[in-house]
Structure 1
Amino acid sequence: MIPRIALTPGEPAGIGPDITLAIAQQAWDAELVAICDPQLMQERAELLGLEVEIQVINSPLGEPSPHQPGTLKVYPINLTAPCKPGQLNPSNASYVLYTLHAAVDACIAGRCNAMVTAPVQKSVINDAGIPFSGHTELLAEDTDTHRVVMMLASKDMRVALATTHLPLRDVADAINADMLEDTLNILHRDLQSKFGLANPKIAVLGLNPHAGEGGHMGREELDIIIPVLEKLRASGMQLDGPLPADTAFNPKVLSNCDAVLAIYHDQGLPTLKYASFGEAVNVTLGLPIIRTSVDHGTALDLAGSGKADSGSLKSALQMAIDMSQSTQTS
C-alpha cells in the first residue's frame, strides 16, 4: 500500500519549511502533500539553493503515488503576513493553526492516511491572543477525542506521558485513578493496533522520588497508581511498577518492556531525548488518525541557513508510513 501523508511545516519562520524541503529531495514509498503556503516553500528553497518543483494541488485525491525526489505537492494555504526566516510574526499564528486543521480534516475524511508535523512556536501563537498549549491538545479537540496520550519513540525506547504540558505544581492534582487507567488503556491498545505488539509490556513510573518510598515521600503511589496497576493486571495487562524514575531507564528495565509510562513531561523525556535527540518521533496515541512529529523545536537561529538537521522529520515520516501500512493490513 502506498499511503498519502499530510505534512505541516509548522512555524514559517522556523526550520519546518527547511526540513520539509530537505526530505522532499529523496524518494519515499508514500505520496507527500505539504499543507502550507507554496510561495513560502518556493522562496525558502531558493534561499537554501534547493531545486524543488512545487506542485500546487486543489485537494489530495485519487490513488496515491510514490514521492518523486525534487518535487513537492502543496495544498495551498496562504500566509497571513510576509515571513522572514528567524523572525516570528504573531500575524501568522492563525496560518499555522489553519494548516493543522486542514491536515486533520484530510485524515478524518480519508484523503490522507496520516499527518506528520514539523515544530510550531507555542509562544507566538499565544502572543497572538490564541490559547494554545501544543499539537497534542489541538488534535484531541479537532477529533473530538476525550483523551490522547503523547509518546516519544526511538529505536531504543518508547516513553509515553500521563500528563503533558502542565506546570509542575499542577501535576499531582491532575493524577487520578480514572485518568491513569484511561492512559494505560490507550497506550496498551495503540501499541497493539499501531505498532503490532500483541501483548505489550509497560513499565510505569511513580510520581514521587523513590516511587513514594512506602508513603514517606508522597501517597500518590499507594492511593492511586498501585491500585490502578493491580486492577489492570487482573484484566491481563503486563505492567511493571510503579518504578522510581531515577533508576527506571536502565538496560535491564528497558530490555524487558515495550514502553515506559512517565507521569509528567520532564520525568521521562529528558532521558529519551538525551539518548536519541534528532532521531526520536513524537506520536499522538488515542486519536482516530495517525499523527507523528519531530522531537525538537523551531530552531529559529538555523532557519534559512541550510544547517537544519532533518533526521527527526525523516524518522517521523517513516514511522507514519509504517503505521499507515500496518493499520491497513491489520
Structure 2
Amino acid sequence: MFQKPIIGITMGDPAGIGPEVVVKAVTDKKVTQVCYPLVFGSYHIIFSSAKKFLKKAIIRKIIWPEDVRDSKDSICVLDCTKLDRTKIKTGKITKLSGKMATDSVFCATQFALSDQIDALVTAPLSKKGLRLAGYDFPGHTELLAYLTATRNYAMMFVAVHSPLSTVDCRLSTEKYKMVLVTTHLPLSEVARSISKKRILEKLTVTQKALQRHFGIKKPKIGVCALNPHCGEEGILGTEEKRIIIPAIKAAQKMGIKAYGPFSSDTIFSPKISQEFDCILAMYHDQGLIPLKMGEWGGAVNVTIGLPIIRTSPDFGTALDIAGKGKADPKGMINAILLAAQMVKKTKGKRTSSF
C-alpha cells in the first residue's frame, strides 16, 4: 500500500504572500488527504500567519520530518532560521526577508537530498531579495540547480483545471505541459542563446521527466519555431534551418519523439497541442502567454532534471496584497497536489540528476 508522502513546503519571502498561502494550503483537505505537509521556515512567522488568516489552527514545531506523521490536524513547522522576524516589514523586500526565504530553501533542499522528505514545494521568493541576501541567481530554479549540483535542468509548466477537485489529482495537463529552452532573458538575447546543444539537452531532460514523473512511456514532444512562419525558408530568420531542425533530427536519432518546428500560432491551438505530451518553447513569453490566456485554471512550475521533485505555484510575492488576507491559495494547493502525484508516479524513490 502506498504511504502518504512527506512534502516539504518553504514559506517563501516573509514580506510577501508566501506565509499566508502556505498556511491556507497545508490545512486544505485536498492536501492533507494525499500527503503530510511540512513547512520549512520561521516558526514564529508561520504561527502568526496561521493565527491571522485561519479561524482555527494548531501549530507544532518539529525537529525531524518523520515526526509529521504523528501530528494529525496540526500545521507542522521545521524552524530553520534564527534571524530576527520582528524586523520584517510586510510588503517590503529587504536583505533580511531575502535571507529568511533562502534559509528555508537551503534547509528543505538538504532534507530532500537525504530522502527525509519526498518532494519540495516552494512558495514565492523575490529575485530582488535573493540579490540583497547575496545570492546571484535569477530565481528558485537556478538556486536549486546549484544546491543539487545539477547541470541539465529545465522549467516545465503544467497547466491545471481550476479547482483540482479529486484526490487522484487529475490534471488537464495530461494534455498540456510546456518546457522552456531559455528562461528569464531579455528578448534581445534569446536568439543568440539558442543552440543545437541547448535544445537537445532540453529535449533529453524533458523526455526523462515525462517518463519518470508522469508515467508516459513514449512521450511526444512538439517543438516551437523561433521566428514567424518557421522562418519562411530563411526569409524571416535562419534559426530554424541552422539550429532547431538539426536539433530535432539529432533527438530523433537518440530515440526521442520530437516533432517540428511548428509556428507558435499553430502548435498552441487546442487541436494541435493535444497531439503532444509536452511542448518545447524557445523563450519565456512564447510558452507562458498561451498557457495563461487559454482555458486553463492556472499552472504549476516544475523544475525537471533535479535529483529531487520540486514544484511551485506560478505566481510571485504579490507585495501589494501581502498581509491583507486576500491571497488565493489555489496555486499553492495545486503545486502540492502535483508534487504528491509525481511522488506516487516515481513510487517515492529519489532519482539521480538526469
The bucket for the TM-score relative to the shorter chain is over 0.9
- 286, 295, 298: which one pairs with 2:317? 298
In the TM superposition, 1:137-286 aligns within 5 A as 137-154=142-159, 155-156=172-173, 157-275=176-294, 279-286=298-305
CA contact (8 A) 1:80 1:92 kept: no
Residue aligning to 2:108: 103
Write the deviation string for residues 135-166 of structure 1: whole angstroms up to 9, x where unpaired: 11011111111121101101241111011112
CA contact (8 A) 2:88 2:96 kept: no
Residues of 2 paired with 1:35 and 1:127: CA distance? 21
Residue aligning to 1:86: 91
- 71, 79, 86: which one pairs with 1:76? 79
Partner secondary structure for residue 280 of structure 1: strand
Structure 1 residue identity aligned to 2:230: A
CA contact (8 A) 1:161 1:264 kept: yes
- 43, 47, 53: which one pairs with 2:52? 47
Partner secondary structure for residue 194 of structure 1: helix
- Report deviation, 1:92: 2.1
- Report deviation, 1:131: 1.6
Residues of 2 paired with 1:292 and 1:229: CA distance? 27
Q: 1:125 to 1:278 in 2, by over 3 A?
A: farther
Write the deviation string for residues 232-270 of structure 1: whole angstroms up to 9, x where unpaired: 223332222111112221012111011110011111011
- Report deviation, 1:127: 3.7
TM-score calculated relative to the size of structure 2: 0.88
More divergent stretch after superposition (102-111 vs 127-136):
127-136
Residues of 1 paired with 2:297 and 2:324: CA distance? 18
Q: 1:47 to 1:153 in 2, by over 3 A?
A: same
TM-score calculated relative to the size of structure 1: 0.94
- Report deviation, 1:107: 0.6
Q: 1:66 to 1:118 in 2, by over 3 A?
A: farther
Q: 1:8 to 1:276 in 2, by over 3 A?
A: farther
Residues of 2 paired with 1:66 and 1:289: CA distance? 24
Write the deviation string for residues 256-302 of structure 1: whole angstroms up to 9, x where unpaired: 01111001111101111223676310000001100000011111122
- Report deviation, 1:118: 0.9
Structure 1 residue identity aligned to 2:53: L
Residue aligning to 1:32: 37
- Report deviation, 1:35: 0.4
- 133, 140, 156: which one pairs with 2:138? 133
1:112 aligns with 2:85: no
Partner secondary structure for residue 236 of structure 1: coil
Residues of 2 paired with 1:296 and 1:4: CA distance? 23
Partner secondary structure for residue 65 of structure 1: helix
Write the deviation string for residues 52-106 of structure 1: whole angstroms up to 9, x where unpaired: 21111112136x638744x211010234452233232222212211111111111
Stretches of structure 2 lacking an aligned partner (at least 5 in a row) = 160-171, 350-354
Stretches of structure 1 lacking an aligned partner (at least 5 in a row) = none
Q: 1:125 to 1:30 in 2, by over 3 A?
A: same
CA contact (8 A) 2:204 2:256 kept: no
CA contact (8 A) 1:32 1:67 kept: no
- 301, 311, 316: which one pairs with 2:330? 311
Residue aligning to 2:69: 65
Structure 2 residue identity aligned to 1:166: L
Residue aligning to 1:288: 307
Runs of 4+ in 1 over 4 A off after TM superposition: none
Partner secondary structure for residue 69 of structure 2: coil
Residue aligning to 1:325: 344
Partner secondary structure for residue 22 of structure 1: helix
Residues of 1 paired with 2:258 and 2:317: CA distance? 36
Q: 1:317 to 1:329 in 2, by over 3 A?
A: closer
Residue aligning to 1:16: 18
Q: Percent identity?
A: 37
CA contact (8 A) 1:30 1:66 kept: no
